[in-house]
Structures are given as structure tokens and as C-alpha cells.
């Protein structure tokens, strides 16, 4: 109670400051004047009375001051005064302030931004509560170590697992389905996901609009419904809320849209979700393939993974007898959480970035510690004087605390700003497919707090040092110290040096990491694709199988389409193609008449039209490519690549020779005699992705067979994506049941698949390394500058005794270089260790690449020297006489 | 007159509370009353009176109010609060007990140890 009434009294006093002052003044005056009057009544003269009254009262001002303190009014005053003083002192020492704030900001900003990404992606990729107890079931063949196991189950099997297990609360499954949507003018293709009863409840996701499926929706007799994914609703349905409860024809069935999911829900990467209840009758269904279910179970509370593993192994063994064809003779059951499935792929990368973050934070803290200590020693004398003049320990400590807090606040503000900016730019650089659809990456509060706490503790801790030291009793000694010391022997000198060495080592590690990633990325970019992917639009066109079963029918679609698209303004070339470079399409066993071989011979092959090679600017090395007439006539001609010639026709001219693509005999639209005459050789085009060597490849006319999914490539003079709507219109004009899939520009596809990942890694690491380098430069500079400033006296002595500018420079630079070299020496083993962890990410360069190490060493030494140079030169410019007198 | 005794630390508060308990007073009046009751045997620093008054008011043992003094001048009068009355009683009790204990210690004869 007392505290409360005290607080109220304080509030009253603060609110009415002026009145308090005037009251106090009036009261004290009254006292003195009344006393003076009493004295007069006792016979003392007028002025004498007043004088004595004043004297005996004591100082009025000090009494007033004590009164103010009694009311607690002083506290705020002192704080405000401390803040003003702190600001002034920081502004005076502006270089220190700037550097300290920058260091803090950089450390906090970089680490928070990266940590947020790591935390959002690694630790919480799914927004579902308890996602790490949602497990998928995999049957692994015990004989094959590397196999990825079977995670798909038939309907009846799925039901059996539900019935027989004892460890899962709820079990759901999903199956993929290609969904064709009749959109009026044409057909759109969606990735459909069949969901089993309870799926949406399993994930705890309610609908954003409308409703989720209810148990009745899963009954076979129920009216057909579906639920949309948010992204699909926005892109394909214009985000129109009126689409709700309307009917859309999906796969020939009119379905009502009953709900739209919130943005974070994208289970199974589905665009549309369709209810399906697996039944034991599935096996008996004819005419279509029964869906294959991918199972996820939620562990009952209290059940451990180990128990689940044991239980499910028992169940699996029982089921192996019921479905013997689906189970290998010896198998084991593996359970993986859904989190693990997504994240497992790039856990290494993320841990690596966490390590980099930690390194950067350490460097930042070391720098700030150095700066604060250096400043502390400057303050020591000032505080000793103040203490001698009567400042209490509390006052001094409070003063330093306020100053450190001011720094901390400024650093925190800058750090938060940098973190937001950094996060937005990183998210825009992240490759789209490495994160599951559901993740939302945003600044993470606990992470930010962690970074703030760790980095801001440093200025506060190290800032208190001078205040605490001044409050000790050694005032006399402190007042008398002349500040003289010899090189390297100062009280904090060794600490400073150690910090610098540590910083250099850490920075070395970061730089090596960045350097390796950069060279890897450059090597990747330097790989010759063998073609020109710019300005090319592509789209895959899966044709409805009932309409297109043989080559003639397929060509009745493509011929007119190609002609139409070619006629569009801005189009320079069009081609039909079965493959999507840099991946090479189908593969087939081959035979070459006249050559015998013991092992199997394989080659990749593609179906294409006559303009394919010209469109992609593939180099013709020998012979010719097939022309329009030959394609029209479905002549059995072939074009091969260099690797093919090297492997199968070494030293022989392949033109005129024949190659047999045996697999074509087994295709639905089979080719009876798949022997093709080679008419030309082209340069290698990457067909196994960016990082694998090229396979031998054969191109044959697309008219030879009707089998095989193909699409069209369109080369445009302007932005290829600008023509997308026209191309779609032409496709639907040719046949409105054909949907366009995988539409995009070839360049961005390659970018996304092959370059984006490495580029991201390289950019992130470079940000760290860059920040680290800046911090180290600042660190070295400040330590050396401080050291030389403290040793002005000694430098003066040396110069008076005949040392030249050169000698002084040598002294200072020598100090700095020594520290840098030690740092590098420590850094090398650390860097090599971390780099070896990174090997999986590197292309075309080894983790222990010596030239990178040398380059980084040189860079650090250069930077260190530069940082030392300025203070060194400044030291030499000091007039020895001044220096000698300087204390 | 004997030399005035210096006030022991912390006792001024008690004295002020006692003085005010006998009736509302302004600061100067409190001083006079204490001198009067103590028969002038205590040495009281005038300057330390007001900080003590302010502190006691801040802690809620006394309240203040502007009024008119004897010679028609504005003066601030202090009054004991209920909490203050209780406080005075407790402090008096503590003081007496403490005095008894100290007296007992100081009066110990060598053989009683």
C-alpha cells in the first residue's frame, strides 16, 4: 500500500512541478521570516535577525534539493540529465558512436534476417500444429540400402493400416490426380489432390471462404464438391468470391466449389482438393487405375516414435501376407515426420548458414567489446575526478548505463531496420521450389530478441567497467596515472589483440566459404548449355488420349497449331519437341547394325520438328538436319550429338549409318521397324541437367509416332511471356480440350532449376562475408588507432631519439600484420573444416581449393594493412615535443 | 544549559510525527514544539527539517494543507494521518524496546557475563 501511495505522491509531484517549486519556496521563506521575526522580538536588530535566520537555516538551495529528492522528483531529472549528457558525449566522440552503432546494427540485422529464414523454413515449414508428430510410413526393401522405399498404398491397404494400428490417432491419405477443367474457351490443367475423410481436421485448417469437406461429402452418393487452394483461386479464378458455390466441370464431372483454403495451405501441392473415401471395392474398379494413397498418421499423445515403429512393423508384416506382391521379401518400416521430409534435403545448408550467423555475431560482439573498453579507459580519468568531487558510485554507474543503453537502442533500431530490408531482399532471391508452399517467411520475434539480447549485452557489460572501477577507492592512483605505457603492454592491450585475432580468424572462415560458393556458381554459369535459351516460350501439351492415339492424329493437332503460332506477330521460330532442355527426354536401348557389343547400349532420344535445331541455335557439325518435307512424310531419319558419335562411331563418319531405337517397338503407337538413318551431327546440348555429363542423344521426327508427351517451343523477338495469352488462344482454337502445362520462358525455367539455388547460397554467404570483412576492418582500425593514441608519449620518445617515420610505421604496421597473420593461421583449419561440410554444394571446385585460401589470406592482409595505415601515419605526424609532454 | 545533544540518526522522523500528533502545525511550528517539549536539550538542524517533512508526506504518514498562520500569512500545515498514528505507535514501541536492550547491555557488570 505504501508503495502505491508513494507512487501517487510522485505522480502528483511530477504533474505539478512548478507549483511544487513555488510552494516549497514559499514554505521555506515563511520559515525563515518567521524565525527572523522571533529573533527581532528577542531584541535582535532587523538585518542581523535575517542574517542569523539564514545562517542557522543552512543553505536554502540544498534544503530545496533534498526536499526534491525526498519527493522522488529528482530521479527523472537525473535521468534526463544523464541522457542529455550521454547524447552529448556520444556526439562528441562521433566516430566511436557511428562505428559502434553500425557494428551493432550490422550484427543484429544480418543475423536476424538469416535466422528468421532458417527458423521459418527449417524449424517450422508447416503451419500445422504438432507437425513433427505427423508421420509418413515407408516400406524399405532390406536388401537395397539406397532405395527410397514405398510410401504409397492401395485403398484397401490404407484401410487395413487404419484398422490394425494402435499408435495413430487419426490417419489420412492423399492421392494425386490430374484434373482437367473445362473453362469454356479451353481446358485448364490442375494438380488435383484426393483427400480422405478428416484431412482438413487433421491439419486443423479451417476454410478461408466457404467451408471444408464434411463427412457427408465423402459418401459416394453425395453431390460432387471440391475445395480450392488459395493460390489457384487467385490466379485461375481471379480471386472472385462469387465463384463460391458455383459449379465447375472437372474431369468431366460438374463439381461445386464449397470452399477456398487460406494462403498457407497447400497440402500435396494440390490446386484443387477432391473428397474421396477409399473403399475395399477399389480393387474391383475397372477401366481406370485406382488411386495410390500417400499415408500420414498423427501419433496419439504419449506414444513415442519407437513404439509406433514397433507397432507398425507388426502390422506391416501382417499385411505382407495379405498383399504379397506389394511387399519385398525382407523389409523394414520407416517413419518420417512430414517436417523431416521437406527439410531433410537441405538441412545441411541451413545449419551452415546458422554457423555463419553465429560467426558474424561473434565478430560484432568482439568489435563492440573492443570499442567500449577503449572508450572506457578514456573515461577513467574523468570518472576519477568526478568521484573525487563527490559523485556517488550509483551516479557514475547510472551515467555509463544510460550511455550504453543509448548506444544499444540506436544499434537495435538500425539492426531492426536492416533486418527487415535484408529479409525482403532474401525472400525475393529464394528459389521458389525449395520451400514448401505453406511457409510464410517473416521476421521472427524470438529470433530478433535473441540477437538483440546477445549483442546489446556487450555494450552494457563493457560500458560498466569504467564506472565500477572509478567507484573503487583508488582515486588517488587513478588521478595520478599519466597514461603512459609501452607498446603492447597496456592493461587491456592483450584483450584487444586477442579479439582482433579472433575476428580475423572468423572472418577468414566466412570469406573462404563465400569464395568457394562464388567460384562454384561461376563455374556453373560457365557451363555451355549447347543452345540459346533466351526469348523462348515453352509449354507442354498433354493430349486427351481418346482423341489422339496415332501419329496422324497427333500431327492433325500440331501441324495446324505450329502454323498458327508461327503466324503470330513477334514469333520467329516454332517447333514441336518432346524434351525440355537441359533435360533430355526419353531413353531407349539402341542397336547399331554392324557393331556388336556385350553390355547394353542406351541413348536418349527426342521427337522434334524440323525447326527445333534452328530455334535453339544448336550447332550443326556435320551433315544436315531433316527438313519439313521429310518430317511431313515421317521419314525415318535421325540427327545425333557429338557424344553419340564419340561413343558409338569413334573415328567413323556416322552420316549414312543407321541406328535402331529398340524401345519404340514397345510404345503404344509402336514403330514396327525403328531403324533410322543418321543424316547429321550437332553439338552437345546438356541433357542430364547442369552438373552431369552429356548423354548420347538422338533426334527423330515427331511424326514417326503418336506416343510421347510433347509440347511446343516458340522463339519470339520480344518478351516471350507477352505472347502467352495468344499462344493459349491458338492452342484452344486448335482443340479446346488440350490444356497448357509447364508454361513459361525457357530461360527462367533453367534459372529456377539450375542457377537459383547456388546463386542464393552464394549471395547469402557473400552478405555474411562482406559484413564480416567490414566489421574486421573497423575492428583492426579502431584497435590500432586506440593503441597508437595511447602510446603517443612513447612514440614521441622514439622519434626524439632518432626514429624515422619509416620505423614508426614499421612498428605500427608490424603490430597489425602480426595480429592478422595469427588470425589467418587460426582461421585456416577452422575454414577447412567448415568448407569440407559444404562440399556437397560445390560444383567444379574442391572444398580445400588452395587458390581460394591464398586469395582470402591476401585480401585479409591487405585489408588489415590498410586499416593500420591511417592511424600509423597519423602517429608519425605527431610533433615529438607535443608527444613528450602529452600524458 | 547543558550542551545540546545531537540527534541520533533516524529519530527526527519520530519526533516530527510526535509533534504533529499533538495538533496540526506548520514547519516552523513543528520545530518550536520539538524544542519546547525537549526543553531545548536537542540540537536540530533547521535545514534537515523540511526534507524530513517532505519524505514523511511522500510516505503517507502526514498530509499537508495550506492555511493561515497566526500573523495572517499563508503557511503549510501538516497533520498526522491514520497510518501515521499507527506508525508513531510502532516506532515508539520499537524505540523503547531498543533503549531497554541497549541499557541492559551497557549496564552489564563484568561478573554477569
Confidence grade of residue A489 (pLDDT, cut at 50, 70, 90):
very low
Of A23, A59, A72, the CB nearest to B47: A59
- Is the previous residue joined to A582 through a cis bond, with omega within 30 degrees of 0? yes
Residue A53 in this model has a pLDDT that exceeds 90: no
Least confident of A441-455, A459-473, A689-703, A820-834: A459-473
> Does the beta-carbon distance from A27 to B50 stay under 8 Å?
yes
Distance from CA of B106 to the nearest CA of A (A): 35
Mean pLDDT of all residues in A452-471:
74
Residue A84 in this model has a pLDDT that exceeds 80: yes
Residue B109 in this model has a pLDDT that exceeds 60: yes
> Does the beta-carbon distance from A31 to B27 stay under 8 Å?
yes
* Chain B residues within 8 A of A2 when measuring between CB atoms: 59-60
pLDDT digits (tens, 9 = 90+) for A173-195: 998 888 888 887 888 888 899 99
Percentage of chain A exceeding pLDDT 90 = 14
> Does the beta-carbon distance from A27 to B27 stay under 8 Å?
yes
> Does the beta-carbon distance from B50 to A72 stay under 8 Å?
no
Supply the pLDDT for residue A478.
58
Supply the pLDDT for residue A681.
94
Neighbour-count burial of A737, counting CB atoms closer than 10 A to its CB (0-12 exposed, 13-18 middle, 19+ buried) = middle
Work out how many CB contacts closer than 8 A connect A with B.
72
The packing angle between helices A60-71 and B49-59, to 10°, is 10
Residue A640: which of A713, A692, A591, A695 has the closest Cα? A695
Three-state SS at A862: helix
Mean pLDDT of the residues in chain A: 82
Of B28, B51, B58, the CB nearest to A63: B51
Alpha-carbon distance A460 to A402, whole Å?
A: 9
* Chain B residues within 8 A of A62 when measuring between CB atoms: 47
Q: Which residue of B has its CA nearest to A34?
A: B28
Neighbour-count burial of A751, counting CB atoms closer than 10 A to its CB (0-12 exposed, 13-18 middle, 19+ buried) = middle
Confidence grade of residue A614 (pLDDT, cut at 50, 70, 90):
very high
Distance from CA of A39 to the nearest CA of B (A): 13
Mutate to test the interface with A, among B50, B77, B90 (most CBs of A within 10 A): B50
Of A30, A69, A71, the CB nearest to B73: A30
Confidence grade of residue A547 (pLDDT, cut at 50, 70, 90):
confident
Residue B89 in this model has a pLDDT that exceeds 90: yes
Q: Give the residue, A278 or A436, on which the prediction is more confident.
A: A278
* Chain A residues within 8 A of B69 when measuring between CB atoms: 30, 34
Three-state SS at A165: coil
* Chain A residues within 8 A of B27 when measuring between CB atoms: 27, 30-31
pLDDT digits (tens, 9 = 90+) for B61-79: 899 888 888 878 888 899 9
> Does the beta-carbon distance from B51 to A23 stay under 8 Å?
no
Residue A778 in this model has a pLDDT that exceeds 90: no
- Contacts of residue B73, Cβ cutoff 8 Å, sequence gap at least 6: A30
Q: Does B13 touch chain A (CB under 8 A)?
A: no
* Cβ atoms A591, A601 nearer than 8 A: yes
Residue A521 in this model has a pLDDT that exceeds 60: yes
Confidence grade of residue A147 (pLDDT, cut at 50, 70, 90):
low
Mean pLDDT of all residues in A209-216:
89
Mean pLDDT of all residues in A151-177:
88
Q: Is the dihedral of CA A22, A28, A29, A31 positive or negative?
A: positive
* CA angle B70–B73–B77, rounded 5-degree value: 70
Confidence grade of residue A492 (pLDDT, cut at 50, 70, 90):
low
* Chain A residues within 8 A of B52 when measuring between CB atoms: 70
Tell me which residues of chain A have a C-beta less than 8 Å from any C-beta of chain B.
2, 5-6, 9-10, 13, 23-24, 26-28, 30-31, 34-35, 37, 56-59, 62-63, 66-67, 69-72
> Does the beta-carbon distance from B51 to A66 stay under 8 Å?
yes
Mean pLDDT of all residues in A605-632:
91
Residue B58: which of B78, B74, B75 has the closest Cα? B78
Of B51, B57, B75, the CB nearest to A30: B75
> Does the beta-carbon distance from B50 to A66 stay under 8 Å?
yes
* Cβ atoms A499, A783 nearer than 8 A: yes
> Does the beta-carbon distance from A71 to B46 stay under 8 Å?
no
Alpha-carbon distance A770 to A766, whole Å?
A: 6
> Does the beta-carbon distance from B60 to A9 stay under 8 Å?
yes
Q: Which of A142-146, A157-161, A349-353, B39-43 has the highest mean pLDDT?
A: A157-161
Supply the pLDDT for residue A488.
44
Distance from CA of B97 to the nearest CA of A (A): 25
Touching A: B residues 64-103, CB under 8 Å: 66, 69, 71, 73-76
Supply the pLDDT for residue A565.
92
Supply the pLDDT for residue B85.
92
Residue A426 in this model has a pLDDT that exceeds 70: yes
Residue A291 in this model has a pLDDT that exceeds 70: yes
Residue matched to cell numbers 562528441 = A92
Mean pLDDT of all residues in A92-113:
84
Q: How far is CA A474 from CA A470, A481, B93, in A?
A: 8, 11, 44
Confidence grade of residue A123 (pLDDT, cut at 50, 70, 90):
low
Residue A146 in this model has a pLDDT that exceeds 70: no
Main-chain dihedrals φ then ψ at residue A138, nearest 5 degrees:
-130, 135
Supply the pLDDT for residue A485.
47
Mutate to test the interface with B, among A9, A30, A64 (most CBs of B within 10 A): A30
Residue A674 in this model has a pLDDT that exceeds 90: no
Residue A344 in this model has a pLDDT that exceeds 70: no
Q: Which residue of B has its CA nearest to A59?
A: B47
Mean pLDDT of all residues in A138-156:
79
Distance from CA of B74 to the nearest CA of A (A): 8
Kindly state the cell numbers that stand for A272: 484443387
pLDDT digits (tens, 9 = 90+) for A807-837: 888 888 888 888 889 999 999 998 888 888 7
Mean pLDDT of all residues in A403-426:
86
Of B50, B73, B75, the CB nearest to A67: B50
Supply the pLDDT for residue B57.
87
> Does the beta-carbon distance from B54 to A67 stay under 8 Å?
yes
Residue B14 in this model has a pLDDT that exceeds 70: yes
Q: Is the dihedral of CA A865, A868, A872, A873 positive or negative?
A: positive
pTM over 0.80: no
Main-chain dihedrals φ then ψ at residue A260, nearest 5 degrees:
-120, 135
Residue A551: which of A676, A663, A664, A662 has the closest Cα? A664
Q: Give the residue, A280 or A209, on which the prediction is more confident.
A: A209
Q: What is the 3-state secondary structure (H, E, C) of A456-512?
A: HHHHHHHHHHHHHHHCCCCHHHHHHCCCCCCCCCCCCHHHHHHHHHHHHHHHHHHHH
Residue A343 in this model has a pLDDT that exceeds 90: no
Of B31, B46, B59, the CB nearest to A6: B59
Q: How far is CA B57 from CA A75, A119, A849, B91, B94, in A?
A: 17, 55, 77, 17, 21
* Chain A residues within 8 A of B55 when measuring between CB atoms: 70
Distance from CA of A767 to the nearest CA of B (A): 57
Q: How far is CA A561 from CA A74, A248, A727, A728, B102, in A?
A: 87, 27, 9, 10, 114
Amino acid at each position: 500500500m505504501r508503495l502505491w501511495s508513494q507512487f501517487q505522491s510522485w505522480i502528483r509531484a511530477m504533474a505539478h512541478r512548478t507549483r511544487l517549486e513555488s510552494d516549497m519556496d514559499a514554505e521555506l521563506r515563511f520559515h525563515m521570516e518567521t524565525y527572523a521575526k522571533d529573533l527581532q522580538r528577542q531584541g535582535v536588530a532587523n538585518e542581523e535577525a535575517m542574517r542569523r535566520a539564514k545562517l542557522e537555516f543552512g543553505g536554502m538551495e540544498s534544503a530545496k534539493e533534498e526536499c526534491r529528492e525526498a519527493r522522488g522528483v529528482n530521479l527523472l531529472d537525473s535521468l534526463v540529465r544523464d541522457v542529455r549528457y550521454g547524447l552529448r558525449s556520444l556526439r562528441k566522440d562521433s566516430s566511436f558512436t557511428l562505428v559502434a552503432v553500425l557494428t551493432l546494427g550490422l550484427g543484429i540485422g544480418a543475423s536476424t534476417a538469416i535466422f528468421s529464414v532458417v527458423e521459418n523454413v527449417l524449424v517450422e515449414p508447416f503451419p500445422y500444429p504438432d507437425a513433427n508428430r505427423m508421420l509418413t510410413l515407408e516400406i524399405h526393401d532390406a536388401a537395397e540400402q539406397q532405395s527410397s522405399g514405398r510410401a504409397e498404398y492401395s485403398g484397401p491397404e490404407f484401410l487395413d493400416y487404419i484398422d490394425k494400428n494402435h499408435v495413430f490417432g487419426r490417419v489420412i491419405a492423399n492421392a494425386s490426380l490430374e484434373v482437367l477443367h473445362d473453362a469454356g474457351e479451353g481446358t485448364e490443367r490442375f494438380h488435383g489432390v484426393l483427400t480422405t475423410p478428416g484431412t482438413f481436421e487433421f491439419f486443423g485448417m479451417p476454410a478461408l471462404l466457404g467451408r471444408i469437406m464434411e463427412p457427408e461429402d465423402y459418401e459416394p452418393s453425395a453431390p460432387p464438391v471440391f475445395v480450392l487452394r488459395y493460390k489457384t483461386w487467385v490466379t485461375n479464378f481471379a480471386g472472385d468470391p462469387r465463384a463460391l458455390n458455383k459449379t465447375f466441370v472437372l474431369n468431366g464431372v460438374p463439381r461445386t466449389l464449397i470452399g477456398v483454403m487460406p494462403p498457407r495451405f497447400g497440402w500435396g501441392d494440390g490446386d484443387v482438393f477432391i473428397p474421396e473415401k477409399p473403399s475395399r471395392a477399389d480393387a474391383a474398379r475397372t477401366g481406370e487405375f485406382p488411386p495410390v494413397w500417400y499415408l500420414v498418421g498423427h501419433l496419439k499423445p504419449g506414444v513415442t516414435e519407437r513404439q509406433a515403429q514397433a507397432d507398425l512393423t507388426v502390422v506391416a508384416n501382417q499385411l505382407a501376407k495379405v498383399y504379397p506382391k506389394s511387399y519385398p521379401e525382407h523389409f523394414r518400416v520407416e517413419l518420417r515426420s512430414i517436417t523431416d521430409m521437406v527439410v531433410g534435403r537441405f538441412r545441411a545448408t541451413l545449419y551452415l548458414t546458422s554457423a555463419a550467423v553465429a560467426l558474424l555475431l561473434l565478430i560484432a560482439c568482439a568489435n563492440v567489446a573492443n570499442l567500449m573498453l577503449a572508450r572506457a579507459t578514456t573515461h577513467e580519468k574523468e570518472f576519477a575526478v568526478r568521484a573525487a568531487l563527490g559523485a556517488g558510485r550509483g551516479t557514475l554507474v547510472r551515467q555509463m548505463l544510460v550511455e550504453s543503453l543509448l548506444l544499444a537502442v540506436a544499434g537495435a533500431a538500425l539492426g531492426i531496420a536492416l533486418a527487415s530490408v535484408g529479409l525482403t531482399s532474401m525472400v525475393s532471391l529464394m528459389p521458389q521450389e525449395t520451400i514448401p508452399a505453406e511457409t510464410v517467411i517473416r521476421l521472427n520475434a524470438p529470433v530478433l530478441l535473441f540477437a538483440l539480447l546477445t549483442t546489446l549485452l556487450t555494450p552494457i557489460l563493457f560500458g560498466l567497467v569504467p564506472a565500477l572501477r572509478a567507484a573503487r577507492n583508488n582515486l588517488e592512483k587513478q588521478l595520478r596515472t599519466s597514461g603512459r605505457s609501452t607498446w603492447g603492454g597496456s592493461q587491456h592491450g592483450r584483450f584487444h589483440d586477442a579479439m582482433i585475432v579472433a575476428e580475423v580468424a572468423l572472418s577468414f572462415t566466412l570469406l573462404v566459404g563465400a569464395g568457394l560458393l562464388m567460384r562454384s556458381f561461376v563455374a556453373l554459369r560457365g557451363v555451355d548449355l549447347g543452345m540459346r535459351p533466351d526469348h523462348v516460350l515453352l509449354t507442354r501439351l498433354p493430349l486427351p488420349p481418346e482423341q489422339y492415339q496415332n501419329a496422324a492424329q497427333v500431327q492433325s493437332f500440331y501441324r495446324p497449331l505450329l502454323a498458327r503460332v508461327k503466324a503470330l506477330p513477334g514469333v520467329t521460330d516454332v517447333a514441336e519437341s518432346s524434351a525440355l532442355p537441359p533435360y533430355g527426354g526419353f531413353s531407349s536401348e539402341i542397336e547399331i547394325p554392324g557393331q556388336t557389343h556385350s553390355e547394353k547400349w542406351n541413348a536418349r532420344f527426342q521427337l522434334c520438328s524440323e525447326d527445333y535445331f534452328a530455334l535453339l541455335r544448336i550447332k550443326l557439325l556435320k551433315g544436315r538436319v531433316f527438313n519439313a518435307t521429310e518430317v511431313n512424310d515421317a521419314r525415318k531419319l535421325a540427327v545425333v550429338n557429338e557424344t553419340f558419335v564419340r561413343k558409338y562411331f569413334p573415328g567413323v563418319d556416322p552420316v549414312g549409318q543407321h541406328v535402331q531405337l529398340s524401345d519404340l517397338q514397345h510404345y503404344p503407337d509402336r514403330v514396327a521397324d525403328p531403324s533410322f538413318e543418321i543424316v547429321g551431327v550437332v553439338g552437345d546440348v546438356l541433357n542430364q541437367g547442369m552438373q552431369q555429363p552429356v548423354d548420347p542423344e538422338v533426334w527423330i521426327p515427331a511424326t514417326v509416332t503418336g506416343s510421347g508427351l510433347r509440347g511446343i517451343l516458340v522463339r519470339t523477338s520480344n518478351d516471350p511471356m507477352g505472347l502467352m495469352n495468344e499462344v493459349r488462344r491458338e492452342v484452344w482454337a486448335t482443340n479446346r480440350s488440350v490444356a497448357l502445362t509447364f508454361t513459361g520462358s525457357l530461360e527462367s525455367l533453367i534459372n529456377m532449376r539450375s542457377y537459383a539455388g547456388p546463386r542464393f547460397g552464394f549471395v547469402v554467404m557473400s552478405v555474411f562475408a562482406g559484413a564480416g570483412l567490414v566489421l574486421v576492418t573497423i575492428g583492426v582500425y579502431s584497435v590500432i588507432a586506440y593503441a597508437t593514441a595511447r602510446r603517443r608519449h612513447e612514440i614521441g620518445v622514439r622519434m626524439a631519439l632518432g626514429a624515422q617515420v619509416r620505423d614508426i610505421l614499421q612498428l605500427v604496421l608490424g603490430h597489425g600484420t602480426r595480429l592478422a597473420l595469427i588470425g589467418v593461421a587460426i582461421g585456416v583449419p577452422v575454414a577447412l573444416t567448415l568448407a569440407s561440410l559444404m562440399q556437397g554444394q560445390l560444383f567444379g571446385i574442391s572444398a580445400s581449393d588452395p587458390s581460394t585460401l591464398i586469395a582470402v589470406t591476401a585480401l585479409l592482409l591487405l585489408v588489415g594493412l590498410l586499416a593500420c595505415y591511417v592511424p600509423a601515419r597519423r602517429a608519425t605526424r605527431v610533433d615529438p615535443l607535443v608527444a613528450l609532454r602529452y600524458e | 544549559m547543558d550542551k545540546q545533544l545531537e540527534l541520533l540518526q533516524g529519530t527526527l522522523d519520530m519526533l516530527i510525527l510526535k509533534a504533529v500528533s499533538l495538533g496540526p502545525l506548520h514547519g516552523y511550528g513543528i520545530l518550536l514544539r520539538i524544542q519546547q517539549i525537549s526543553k531545548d536539550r536537542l540540537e536540530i538542524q533547521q535545514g534537515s527539517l523540511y526534507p524530513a517533512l517532505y519524505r514523511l508526506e511522500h510516505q503517507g504518514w502526514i498530509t499537508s494543507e495550506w492555511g493561515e498562520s497566526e500573523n495572517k500569512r499563508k503557511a503549510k500545515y501538516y497533520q498526522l494521518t491514520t497510518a501515521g498514528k499507527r506508525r508513531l505507535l510502532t516506532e515508539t514501541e520499537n524505540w523503547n524496546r531498543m533503549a531497554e536492550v541497549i541499557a541492559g547491555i551497557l549496564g552489564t557488570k563484568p561478573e554477569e557475563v
